[in-house]
């Protein structure tokens, strides 16, 4: 069975087990790993099938115990009412439901053309960006790829940027940095002033040297730092780019994770559209079963390059995604998710301030699901990351978000909302780890 329908194999297998349980069989269902090994599928596929059954009220998950058949008459609605924050982390369950319905329709009528499915998805993405911005986009301006890495490599090759210099806002998503470095680009970081804001004077000098071919900037929210870019700064950047035209790759991978329903303006609203490229992905919104990336741009070389690559994306999945956009499901999900993320990050910051206020410096983020912190005392960041790996508050070393080894004394602390008690324990463990003498390093190191 192809990857597109792998979850159906697991879904049907679990349905059979549920039917047996309802006839008096074992109510406990296999673990994620056991089922993945038995059916030879990925853990993500098993999780997706379980998530779909949870949404249907057929199974329930019990912390540290696993999954169990949900008795009839005590459906999912009751279970959700007991949950204080019933916010779905992804839209995979809805995606699979659309695919099942489309598969039945296809069997009854005719096969879905890969071309028509891709055209429909490009249409809804173009409409989405036209509706939320100040400039119109057409379907032919939207180019799809299987993931961020493949799409970026195709884009950079189309624009003949190999071996050139690119400027990136820092701290920068490590996935972008890896692709840029593998492609042979010289990566420089946008200079910052002592307040941590963009140093526009220094940036103007860098652009004035004539060696920079591309600038990569956030559209409205800069992650992992978690700060919104003000309209004033967006406008100043646009004025600067008008004097020094280079390709602007607007990083729109993270903008939907902002806490506000509307950012006001995006960077793309202010700049010359001829030099504008907008990078986005469906994975952060829909889930791991939709890792597809896209880029919006008007240069004819982009269409030619993507046509040559001829990426084969599952047509049924593209059609399902297009329907989810068109019916407003994705916007509704994002609105619920923003409220939940903002609440979780306030709770996390409250715990950090209460227990570690003298050891960390941070600001409450304006988006995302993590907090960017600076250590006030020199500490072995790698040691801290290792100590927190098994907790609900894993830590990433800040240096991996820089191409030049910045942020040696920073951590990115991630909490997805599970277990307030476990969070308090993790914060206490972090404090103990920071206070351990063995964790200290020389003040001039890094």
Which residue in this structure is represented by tokens 């003298």? 358
Q: Which residues lie across from 396 on neighbouring strands? A: 412
- Which CATH entry fits the domain spanning 3-83: 3.40.309.10, 3.40.50.300, 3.90.230.10, 1.10.10.10? 1.10.10.10
* Burial per residue of 127-162, b for 16 or more beta-carbon CB atoms within 10 angstroms, e otherwise: bbbeeebeeebeeebbbbbeebbbbbbbbbebbebe
Global pTM value = 0.77
Q: Coil, strand, or helix at residue 436?
A: coil
Classify domain 114-327 by CATH number.
3.40.640.10
What does the pLDDT read at residue 87?
Answer: 40
**CA-CA-CA-CA dihedral for 347, 349, 355, 361, to nearest 10:** 180
What does the pLDDT read at residue 24?
Answer: 67
**DSSP-derived pairing of the beta strands 212-218 and 247-251:** parallel
Tokens of 134: 């100040």
Cis peptide bond upstream of 224, omega within 30: yes
The residues near 213 (Cβ < 8 Å, ≥ 6 apart) are 159, 161, 164, 165, 166, 246, 247
Phi, psi of 31 (to 5 degrees): -70, 165
Which among 295, 317, 316, 291 has a CA at the least distance from the CA of 306? 295
What does the pLDDT read at residue 443?
Answer: 39
What is the fold, at CATH topology level, of the domain defined by 341-439? 3.90.1150
Tokens of 179: 């692709």
Cis peptide bond upstream of 157, omega within 30: no
What does the pLDDT read at residue 46?
Answer: 83
Q: How far is 72 from 58, CA to CA, in rounded Å?
A: 8
pLDDT (tens, 9 = 90+) of the chain, 446 residues, equals 333 356 667 877 888 888 777 776 678 898 888 888 888 888 877 887 787 787 667 888 876 678 888 776 443 333 332 233 334 456 888 898 898 888 888 766 555 555 566 789 999 999 999 988 888 999 999 999 999 999 999 999 999 998 899 999 999 988 788 889 888 899 999 988 887 788 999 999 999 998 999 999 999 999 999 999 999 999 999 999 999 999 999 999 999 999 998 898 999 999 999 999 999 999 888 888 898 999 999 999 999 999 999 898 889 999 999 999 999 999 999 999 999 999 999 999 999 999 998 899 999 999 998 999 999 998 889 889 889 988 899 999 999 899 888 999 999 999 877 788 899 999 999 999 998 865 444 333 33
Which among 342, 348, 337, 336 has a CA at the least distance from the CA of 366? 342
* Burial per residue of 277-286, b for 16 or more beta-carbon CB atoms within 10 angstroms, e otherwise: bbbbbbbbbb
Per-domain residue ranges of the chain? 3-83, 114-327, 341-439
């Amino acid at each position: 069975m192809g990857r597109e329908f792998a979850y159906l194999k697991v879904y049907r297998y679990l349905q059979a087990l549920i039917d047996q349980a309802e006839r008096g069989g074992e109510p406990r269902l296999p673990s994620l790993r056991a089922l993945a090994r038995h059916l030879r599928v990925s853990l993500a596929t098993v999780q997706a099938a379980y998530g779909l059954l949870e949404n249907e009220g057929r199974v329930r998950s019990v912390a540290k115990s696993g999954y169990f058949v949900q008795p009839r008459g005590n459906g999912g609605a009751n279970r959700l009412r007991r949950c204080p924050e019933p916010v779905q982390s992804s839209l995979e369950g809805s995606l699979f439901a659309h695919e099942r319905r489309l598969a039945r329709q296809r069997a009854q009528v005719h096969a879905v053309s890969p071309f028509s499915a891709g055209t429909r998805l490009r249409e809804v993405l173009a409409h989405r960006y036209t509706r939320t911005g100040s400039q119109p986009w057409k379907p032919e301006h939207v180019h799809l790829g299987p993931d961020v890495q493949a799409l970026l490599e195709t884009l950079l090759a189309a624009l003949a940027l190999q071996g050139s210099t690119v400027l990136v806002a820092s701290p920068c998503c490590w996935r972008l940095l890896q692709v840029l470095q593998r492609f042979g680009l010289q990566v420089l970081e946008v200079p910052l002033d002592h307040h941590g804001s963009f140093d526009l004077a220094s940036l103007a000098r860098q652009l004035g040297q004539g060696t920079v071919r591309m600038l990569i900037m956030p559209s409205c929210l800069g992650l992992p730092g978690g700060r919104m870019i003000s309209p004033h700064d967006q406008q100043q950047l646009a004025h600067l780019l008008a004097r020094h035209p280079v390709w602007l790759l607007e990083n729109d991978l993270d903008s939907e994770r902002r806490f506000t329903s509307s950012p006001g303006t995006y960077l793309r609203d202010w700049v010359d559209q001829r030099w504008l490229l907008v990078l986005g992905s469906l994975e952060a919104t829909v889930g791991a079963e939709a890792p597809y990336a896209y880029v919006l741009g008007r240069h004819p070389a982009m269409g030619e390059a993507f046509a040559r690559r001829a990426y084969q994306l599952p047509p049924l999945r593209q059609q399902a995604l297009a329907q989810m956009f068109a019916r407003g499901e994705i916007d509704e999900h994002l609105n619920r998710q923003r409220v939940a993320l903002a609440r979780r990050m306030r709770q996390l910051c409250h715990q950090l301030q209460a227990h570690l206020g003298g050891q960390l410096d941070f600001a409450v983020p304006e988006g995302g699901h993590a907090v960017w912190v600076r250590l006030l005392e020199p500490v072995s960041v790698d040691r801290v990351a290792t100590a927190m790996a098994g907790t609900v508050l894993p830590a990433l070393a800040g240096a991996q978000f820089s191409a030049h080894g910045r942020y040696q004394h920073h951590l990115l602390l991630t909490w997805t909302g599970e277990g307030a008690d476990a969070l308090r324990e993790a914060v206490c463990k972090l404090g103990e780890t920071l206070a351990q003498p063995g964790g200290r390093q020389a003040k001039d190191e890094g």
